[in-house]
Amino acid sequence: MRKKSFKAARFDKKYNKPDLRHHSNFMDLTHASGFLLACYFILRGRPENFFVMFAVMCSSFCKMNSGTSKRSKCNSIGFDAFPSVQASNMLLERSVLLIYLVTGLGGTWFVEQPNQSVLEYYPTFRKMLMDLFNVRDEMLQLVYDTKWWMCHYGSASPKRHYAYANTEKIYMLNQGKLYMKVWSRMARMAVASKQWSTTTLDAGIASASTEAELGVLEDEEARLQRELEELEAAGSNPDHAAATTQELDYAGLSTAPTTGPEDAIDVDIDDEEVNAFFGSMTLTVVKAEPAGESPTKEVAQPIATPARAPAALGNIKIESNLKLTKEHTRQEKLLLAARSRLNRMMKPHKKKTGLDVFMQRLEKIITKKEKYTIKVDEGWFSVAEMKAELKWHIDTLQSWVDKMEEQHEACQLVMSEGEVNPNAEFKAKAEAQMKTCSKAVAAETRIRTECLLAVLLYWVNAKKYLDKDAGLAAALQPCLVPKLGLLLVAFPRRSEKGPGPWGDQVGLDVETYGWAATRLTHPFAEASCSSTVRAARRVVADIGDRAAASSGGLLELSKCRENDAETDTHRLFVERLHLSLEPWVPLSSLTHNGRRLTVLRLRDWLQFLVDKSCWHILTGLVRRDPGRERAILKAFWQKFRCTHEDHPIFSMERAGLLSLERTAPLLYHGDEGRGRRRLTTNIAQTFVAGWPKKVIEAEGALGMLMQHCKDENDFVLHEGVVDRDSGEKFHACILAVCGDWQWLVKSGNLQRSYNHVVKATKEAANPEGVCHLCRAGQRGYSFEHLDTRAPAWLSTFLQQDPFLDPRSPLADLPHVPGAAATIFKFDVWHTCHLGICKALAGSALALLSETFPGRSKDARFEALSRHYLNWCAQNHRQALLTRILKETIGWDKNSNFPKASWYKGSLSTTMCDYIESVTKDAEFQDELLTKCGEAVQVLNQFISGLYQGDAFLEPATARNLGEIGLRFLRRYSWCVTRAHEEKRCLFLLLPKFHCLHHIALQDLLIPSQTAAWVVNPIVHSVQLAEDYIGRNSRTSRHTHPSTTTRRVAERHLQAAFAKYVEAQYLVAEGDS
């Protein structure tokens, strides 16, 4: 532009490379300074008469980079997690802003891109085009576009380009269609010349393809041009002696025309362009020397042929701008190119000097002629690093860092070996305490870590802040660290405000953080007794026996035997410190095959609740209120009578054997948790026993445990427990057994269950059935008919006995006559969140992934994963998944039925909410996805209604929820049928759909027609007890296998004691 006498300003990031002190590049649009400079250039343009060309970096928008950028016409934004994609998007966004500015100032702008670039589909760019198009005048169009071939402008390849501008003159760039033959003539000529120089000359030209690769042809044309230029300068080189005709004939390189096939010579030799190319040069032919006139000394010399003389160019001399004395033949022209090629190949290579330079520098370094300074990082975190890596977010962070830098030198002096320390006798102890504190810091959460770091700073700066008169021993006071309830570490205390962010809160006011009460408020750490004893010994060794004696148990804990830590710690905590419920809930045992198995009796639990005035816990109250307790229990049994009028407890009440106002309803729940080596540990609630898998699988062991539960229920129902103060008798009754389906099968010894679902394509002769309540799954009673209110299995309700022999003792719990199977209740939470929702969400995610851009299944799931994570962030939901893959739903192949693989019920809730948000009020081409979205919405409405309802539902509410549940089953059944018709492996049918069919139909809809109150099925859900099972199962991992049943019960009583004290239902001895 400047050569054309225009004032121009160039702008490109390659024109400036910022040094280390400046992070902003004023020649880069993605930096603030660069964007401001670009705006300045545009504002300096002559109004209504200036031109701006935008050459946005095309590497990120072209098709070649789509594998990395994930860009396409449908997703031009790409995968913006990559820095290159982010930078390109920012560059284009800011370029669009500059285009707005140029248009507003009346200037002319121009944007150019390769044809395969998806820049024109970028949303912001498209919006800018539409904005300019919408504000156009009636006779003026503000946006123009065109395409052209770059080979029309001398490019080595055709390379199609497109451009947008606000001037119609860009149409002049289009030179019309591309004619490949005209464009590639010179390139084809170069390839033909190369092939002529071979021994198979005729065959080479005859086989020269007119469709050769364009890049290779262009290179050959340029190479031939360079060779001819070298020949031009060869005439003045004395080393290049001209070969005579005799020498050429002797070497087999005669200049006589070579006869060949007609089609081989019929290249573009008569083309005007070729003649013009060679017409500018003339040649002079040197006459052949007579044979007898050759010098004597030249006779013995070898003939200067191309194979032996690297610089011999023959007897042809090129002179420019002279009259053509003789026209070259084709053979002579090709000979010139062949000799020039051989000359170039035979020249010696230039010496590489890079190695010499390296050796010289290496020699200077070794001989110490040059000195290199190595800067070593001191290890201090900068402010940015502390925020980014350490996740510090306190307001006074800058002052905190400044103070630490100021004290750096003082700290080095304190910790140096040569420092004269008046308190040297405490130095070893202080270093040990610092190590202990560092270990605690590494194990704590972020907030507590910051607090401990503040305390650690006080310890490092102890010399400066200690009272000189009191001395170090007086300053060291035991202070509880929030890592373990019994871990004590001595820290220096001070009362004045310190430099840290907690300077006014650490020191004498340390108890405001609750550290002194950590033993009762902090969650119990999971550790073995032996490791706790070792930790206590290390702490006592650090702080001394005198300081440890005032801790209340630390010194005694350190004296426990490590090889028998379980027994000694139990004796310390229970017998001496009384930190357990064992005095009120004693351990009992059952004998099986000569082995004592520990259990806790239900009567002891109820007696403890009555003695400690905690009966209100069973009624849902936080504090004791005898009047409300009786009213709540009375109302419960009145509403329960509406659907269970024949229950034996009401006949007992009429006989005067018990008072329903003092009878607590109970549920018996059991489950399997993970113990040692990932083996199952069975936990029965309220804590009755915790037995490992090896014990449970022993013959008769599980039946003995169930019999114990049945006996305890009979005792508390018929005998009850007595309040020693008032003399009132309290009773309890187990109304149902709940848990996951596996627990129901084991505890009830059920014959018909999900284990008998037909898995083969061939129909079984006599299938057992899948439901203990009806004959669903047997021949003629399919459980897959979900879209009806009157399924075939409904008439078979409670017709067959579901129990195997021997009959489970729990089947004899109090129940309506003839309805023993109804004791074992289906759990809504396990049925939906860990069953139905996983199958539904798996198919929904598979269908949703098809709506996202991507050339492969992995790419589409990557886009789906980003969308899900963004939705979770916007809606403040915990994602629980770092990404969604096809393996997440088990959909590696389309022949597999997708089903979610997670085991968190809360994730099913989040995923269903996400699917509802995406599909609600949306239109999809796939009708399956539309119906699937409706099914998810209905299921969410059904589950939300159950959770929002009370323990007993009014008939209208129960009927409405039952209808919603049946509507979901109809939607899912439609999806199953349509997927089967389309031969798509989607929407897996599970036996748990039959459980939901029972809940919606028999637990809600049918009772609502006759009963005044209907039991909410959600009361049989056990999601709140899952963590309870997990905590007791984890305890079994830290106990010896031979004593697991006893140690788990003991530790449970110790943990329960802390919870009762925390809730202020009990008072610890030290607090009384």
Q: What are phi and psi of 45, to 5 degrees?
A: -70, 150
Give the whole-angstrom CA distance, residue 869 versus residue 885. Answer: 13
* Least confident residue range of 244-248, 320-324, 539-543, 765-769: 320-324
Give the whole-angstrom CA distance, residue 12 versus residue 773. Answer: 77
The string of DSSP letters for 897-931 reads PP------HHHHHHHHHHHHHHHTT---S-HHHHH
Cα end-to-end span (Å), the chain: 93
Condensed to tens digits (0 to 9), the pLDDT of residues 41-96 reads: 888 888 778 888 888 888 888 888 888 888 888 888 888 888 888 888 898 898 99
- Residue partners of 38: CB distance under 8 A and separation at least 6: 11, 29, 94, 98
pLDDT given at position 446: 43
pLDDT given at position 81: 80
pLDDT given at position 944: 94
Q: Mean per-residue pLDDT for 597-623?
A: 90
Q: Mean per-residue pLDDT for 349-353?
A: 57
* Least confident residue range of 172-176, 440-444, 496-500, 1014-1018: 496-500
Q: Is-contact 975 939, C-beta < 8 A?
A: no
Structure tokens at 425: 């006798």
Q: How far is CA 889 from CA 139, 366, 968, 997, in A?
A: 57, 62, 21, 24
- Residue partners of 999: CB distance under 8 A and separation at least 6: 826, 828, 831, 965, 1017
Name the one residue in this structure whose structure tokens are 């599980």. Answer: 702
Query: What percentage of the chain reaches a pLDDT higher than 70?
Result: 64
697: confidence class by pLDDT, cuts 50, 70, 90:
low
1069: confidence class by pLDDT, cuts 50, 70, 90:
low
pLDDT given at position 104: 85
Q: Mean per-residue pLDDT for 347-375?
A: 64
Q: What are phi and psi of 733, to 5 degrees?
A: -145, 130
Condensed to tens digits (0 to 9), the pLDDT of residues 926-952 reads: 999 999 999 999 999 999 999 999 999
Name the one residue in this structure whose structure tokens are 């009754």. Answer: 733
Does position 484 have pLDDT exceeding 60, yes or no?
Answer: no
pLDDT given at position 483: 33
Condensed to tens digits (0 to 9), the pLDDT of residues 526-578 reads: 566 777 788 888 888 877 877 777 776 777 788 788 777 777 777 777 777 77
Structure tokens at 843: 């198919």
Condensed to tens digits (0 to 9), the pLDDT of residues 1020-1033 reads: 988 877 777 777 77
Query: What percentage of the chain reaches a pLDDT higher than 90?
Result: 27
Which tops the pLDDT comparison, 1 or 431? 1
pLDDT given at position 22: 61
Helix (H, G, I), strand (E, B) or coil at 161: strand
Condensed to tens digits (0 to 9), the pLDDT of residues 655-672 reads: 999 999 999 999 988 877
Does position 986 have pLDDT exceeding 70, yes or no?
Answer: yes
Q: What angle separates helix 837-849 from helix 857-874, to the nearest 10 degrees?
A: 110
Does position 141 have pLDDT exceeding 80, yes or no?
Answer: no
Structure tokens at 951: 């323990």
pLDDT given at position 323: 43
Does position 453 have pLDDT exceeding 50, yes or no?
Answer: no
- Residue partners of 457: CB distance under 8 A and separation at least 6: 404, 498, 499, 500
Name the one residue in this structure whose structure tokens are 């980079």. Answer: 65
Give CB contacts under 8 A, 24+ apart, made by 270-277.
271/185, 273/185, 273/186, 274/185, 274/186, 274/189, 277/186
108-114 β-sheet, strand order:
51-54, 108-114, 160-165, 144-149
Give the whole-angstrom CA distance, residue 547 versus residue 995. Answer: 62
pLDDT given at position 562: 77
307: confidence class by pLDDT, cuts 50, 70, 90:
very low
383: confidence class by pLDDT, cuts 50, 70, 90:
low
Does position 1042 have pLDDT exceeding 80, yes or no?
Answer: no
Q: Mean per-residue pLDDT for 100-121?
A: 89
pLDDT given at position 66: 84
Structure tokens at 693: 């898998």
Three-state SS letters, 801-852: CCECCCCCHHHHCCCCCCCHHHHECCCHHHHHHHHHHHHHHHHHHHHHHCCC
Strand partners, 92: none
Write the single-letter amino acid at 506: V
pLDDT given at position 823: 93
Mean of the per-residue pLDDT values for the chain?
74
Q: Is the pTM of this model over 0.85?
A: no
Which tops the pLDDT comparison, 1069 or 809? 809
Q: Mean per-residue pLDDT for 351-364?
A: 68
Q: What are phi and psi of 683, to 5 degrees?
A: -120, 130
Q: Report the residue count for the chain.
A: 1072
Condensed to tens digits (0 to 9), the pLDDT of residues 485-535 reads: 323 333 333 334 444 343 443 333 333 333 333 333 333 445 667 777 888
Q: Is-contact 844 915, C-beta < 8 A?
A: yes
Write the single-letter amino acid at 270: D
Does position 443 have pLDDT exceeding 70, yes or no?
Answer: no
Does position 475 have pLDDT exceeding 70, yes or no?
Answer: no
pLDDT given at position 267: 36
Give the whole-angstrom CA distance, residue 97 versus residue 104. Answer: 11
Condensed to tens digits (0 to 9), the pLDDT of residues 248-294 reads: 455 454 444 444 433 333 333 344 444 444 444 433 333 333 444 43
pLDDT given at position 305: 35
Structure tokens at 495: 């009362």
